[in-house]
Every structure is written in C-alpha cells, then in structure tokens.
Amino acid sequence: MSETLSTYREMGKKIEEYIRPLTFPLAVKTIQSEDEIKSECRRPLRKLNLQSFVCQNFKIARSYGWTIAITKEDISCKLARAIYGWDPVTDDTVNWMDLFSVGLYARDVETNEKLRKHLYRLDNRFEGLVISPLTQLPQFHS
C-alpha cells in the first residue's frame, strides 16, 4: 500500500478512536476509468440493482462502512448528474432542478436561480467516484 494511503488509514483509526463519530469518516476519490474500480467495491446498480442519488451513497458508506463505487449509470438524480458533469445542462434539467430544490435548498424559484448561479460544475470529465471509510481505503493505481 502506498505511504499516503497508509497515512490516511491511520488518521481514520485515530478519528474513530478519539472522537468516536456516529458514522465512519470517509475518503472520496474520482476515477478516470472503470478499470480503477476494485472488486471489493459495491456498485449500486450492478450489485444492489438500484439507481440512487449520490448523497445516498455517501450515507450508506458512512453508516454501513461499505466501499462504494459509482458511475453515471448508478445515479438517477438529474441535479447530481449535471453537477458531476455526467449529463449536459438542458432546459429540462434546469426545470427539474427548480422543482427539486424549491422547498429543500431554496425558498422559491428566484432564490434557486441565485443558488444555481453559484453551483460549481465539475467539467473535468471523470468516470465516477469511489467512496470509502478512511480505515478501509482500497489500493488504487497511481
């Protein structure tokens, strides 16, 4: 294992030992190719037969201690798919964002328009994410 990953694992162990958070501290890695996904990673669509929101995968990893790999095929949330750069931002996507966000992230459509202007979109195209508890980081190729 690389020295850096060992350091992060040790940090995770110390956080769990001294702070004892209610959920596992996480590490997140962007991946450029599905070849980087290790066999021990759970895949929502392939292994669990479900499409989900990105945030749900973070919650699952935090709560259950699973290492999860996601790509655009695993995600059903139009907002996340646009923000992560997996889908283009269309008028339909913007309309969906307004319907989804009002009442959850914004008071009204006007407030949501302001929010949308400040959302950071990941234009650096990548294939997906691996979400893992710090203490269980899989070995990645550099």
Domains: count for the chain: 1
pTM for the whole thing?
A: 0.82
57 within domain boundaries: yes
C-alpha–C-alpha distance, residues 58 and 131, integer Å: 7
The whole-number average pLDDT for the span 74-84 is 91
Q: For residue 141, is it within any domain? A: no
Handedness of CA 35, 71, 121, 12 (dihedral sign): negative
- The pLDDT score that the predictor gives to residue 141 is 47
pLDDT digits (tens, 9 = 90+) for 113-136: 998 888 888 877 889 999 999 988
Residue 53 domain flag? yes
Distance (Å) of CA 4 to CA 1, 140, 142:
8, 11, 11
Kindly state whether residue 39 falls inside one of the protein's structural domains: yes
At 1, is the pLDDT very low, low, confident or very high (cuts 50, 70, 90)? low
Query: Domain containing 62: what range?
Result: 3-85+121-136
- DSSP conformational letter for 115: H
DSSP calls for 40-105: TSB-HHHHH---B-HHHHHHHHHHH---EEEEGGGB--HHHHHHTTSS---HHHHHHHHHHHBTTT
| Contact yes or no for 54/77 (Cβ under 8 A) | yes
- Asked whether residue 17 is assigned to any structural domain, the reply reads yes
Give the containing element (helix H, strand E) for 31: strand 26-31
Burial of 69 (0-12, 13-18, 19+ CB in 10 A): buried
In a domain, 67, yes or no: yes
- Could you give the CA distance from residue 138 to residue 66 in angstroms, rounded to a whole number? 11
